[in-house]
Amino acid sequence: MDIVKSSLRRIDAAIRTIKNLKDSEFPYSHSEKALLEVERIFKETHRALFKARDSTDQTLKKDTCEEALKRLFIYIPLLGFILRSTNVRNAFEIHGPLLRLSQSLLGNDAKLVLSSEWDYSPMTYPGVPQMKSFILIGFPATESSNPFLIPLAGHELGHNLWLKHGMESRVKVIVTQLIQDEIQKNRWDKFKDLYKIKELEQSKFWGDLFNKEIIGPATVWATLQAEETFCDLVGLRIFGSSFLHAFVYLLSPGQRSRHVAYPSSNRRITNLLDAARKWKLKVPAEYRNVFQQDDQGRFIEKDNFQLDLAEFAVAKLVPHLRATANQLVTAAKLKSTDPKAVQEIRERIGLTVPAENAKSLASILEAGWDANLDETLWRDFDHLDVDSKYENLMEIVLKSIEALEIQSRTKG
Amino acid sequence: MKYNLLIEGQSESAMSVLDEDLSFLATQAALELDSLIEGKETELEAVSRLSSVMSSSFQSVQAEGHSLSLDPATATILNRAFIDSNFANNLETVDELIQKSLELAKELASQTHPSKRNGELARMKSFCMALARCSAAYRESILGHRSKHPYRK
């Protein structure tokens, strides 16, 4: 059985598929460029397999085939993502404004692909090897033409900012220090007891590799939770209160179970509300109460101990993550929400017409959300069908975004 | 305490055990070393990239005298890779690990020298293969099936 031969055939099949996909009609060039990047990566994998074929080292052959298989796992879903970016269910109107915003944040070489996913979660693929200049954002297929979810793209852009500024390497050093100090100051007995630690001179304790390895999970979880926290704060800072509304719409009431890579819902809401107050944003009433309590721990005592440590470290970092999100978004000179502009757009929506001369995407979305939450909207317009009010509102918001894009293009 | 999370010149080039690409890079480096052992002409692009990732990860830690703050995940996978490849199986301290990693990064960077003996090349290749396996296994053990796709967030 020649596994290299099978691996080569699998990669060939992927390359052939890409060749067929190239015939798709792409609504913007970045989808096509992403496809070409994936093709290049598979060709590189093909070359690696060729090298392995000639090797006499059977283990290395298997390892290379394993890596090639992993690449199929990574990039085949991306091909689906790219293909779905051409589907008319997507709101193509938002690509231009969101691209402009992305390039202000991440630099002019940033490329944006918006797509729809058959998974119920907005998501991004940041840092895909060799595709780091691509911002790949997907919305659930059922919501991919819903402009009210656009603010959640702010969270996804946060992941790309985190990557661009190499924040992981700095944060993991800080959380390591925080966790080590916390154990020595306040949790020593518990730590010693759980991990059967022999006494060692305190100053040398964390220089010992065995001790160091114990807190690996806590530092990894803290780093990942810090990233998610940062991304929430970036989304809030870019889109203001419409980010809070979109977050509730898509995720409330959440689920009781949680993943260690994410802060608990309660923690996320607390961080968002603290930042909203700090940045003087409007906070929806009863915001906190719509989410489930998901602070329950894990079932294994050591996991609980590590998770507590991770959460302790992230809590210490939140003010710094908030300041950094603010610093990076401010530096990008984005056109944020402007109360006067929001008011003007809101008045136009009240008249059932798209906004003209809107100053920013964020202002349109804030006005749109305000209208969406207004139970009295269009109540006196007898000619409007009540059942299609929501669809009509989405259409007006999308048209306003389209007008903003035309305005930007004609000016620029 | 005030933490600056944005350091001038900080880049994404440092080693990240959260990055699935680390195992691909290490495997590619092993393939390149294997070709050298077989006496074939080969470009050493992955070897050079791996060397640079290792250097940039540890030089700053060592230069700042912050070896105690080396993150445990990186320390764990490197130590395991050293042990599994019999490259060094008696490291006890973080300082020793950093020193050894920097030595190895330097050795990898000098692979283009034809004077290298096959024994040395084989040792490096073995380390690269072990690094690929350890980083993948560590990610899985800490994060489990975090999501269907390793880059999905």
Residues of B whose CB is below 8 A from A161: none
Residue in B5, B17, B42 closest to A170 by CB? B5
Taking the complete model, does pTM exceed 0.90, yes or no?
Answer: yes
pLDDT band at A412 (very low <50, low <70, confident <90, very high): low
What is the model's pLDDT at position A13?
Answer: 98
pLDDT of residue B150: 62
pLDDT score recorded for residue B27 = 96
Q: What is the mean pLDDT of residues A312-327?
A: 97
Per-residue model confidence as pLDDT tens for chain B (153 residues): 778 888 766 555 678 877 778 999 999 999 999 999 988 888 899 999 999 999 888 877 777 677 778 889 999 999 999 999 998 888 999 999 999 999 999 999 887 655 567 888 999 999 999 999 999 899 888 877 555 566 666
Inter-chain touch B151–A127, beta carbons under 8 Å: yes
Confirm or reject contact between B150 and chain A (CB < 8 A): yes
Count the alpha carbons within 13 Å of A106 in the hemisphere toward its beta carbon. Answer: 27
Q: What is the pLDDT of residue A411?
A: 76
CA-to-CA dists, residue A300 to A294, A313, A363, angstroms:
17, 20, 47
ipTM: 0.88
The residue in chain A having the minimum alpha-carbon distance to the alpha carbon of residue B92 is A209
Per DSSP, the residues of B88-132 read: -----BHHHHHHHHHHHHHHHHTTT-TT--HHHHHHHHHHHHHHH
pLDDT tens-digit map of A219-233: 999 999 999 999 999
Structural domain spans, chain B: 21-143
Interface touch B94/A208, C-beta < 8 Å: yes
**What's the first-to-final CA gap in chain A, in angstroms?**
60
B83 to chain A, any CB pair closer than 8 A? The answer is no
Using alpha carbons, select from A143, A126, A123 the residue that is nearest to residue A134.
Answer: A126
- Residue numbers in B near A41 (CB within 8 A): none
pLDDT in tens, A44-91: 999 999 999 989 999 999 999 999 999 999 899 999 999 999 998 888
Looking at CA atoms only, how far is residue A363 from chain B in angstroms?
A: 27
Q: CA-nearest residue of chain A to B64?
A: A173
Q: Is B117 an 8 Å CB contact of chain A?
A: no
Mean pLDDT: which of A191-205, A315-329, B88-102 is highest?
Answer: A315-329
Res. A171 pLDDT band, cuts 50 70 90: very high
Quote the CA–CA distance of A106 and A366 in Å, as a whole number: 23
Residue A200 has pLDDT above 80, yes or no: no
A vs B, Cβ pairs < 8 A, gives: 186
Say which amino acid occupies A17.
T
**Chain B residues 35-64 within an 8 A CB cutoff of chain A:** 35, 38, 40, 42, 57, 61
User: Does residue A260 carry a pLDDT above 90?
Assistant: no
Distance, CA of A289 to CA of A291 (rounded, Å): 6
Phi first, then psi: give them for residue B93, nearest 5 degrees: -120, 160
Closest CA to A51 of A33, A40, A63, A39: A63
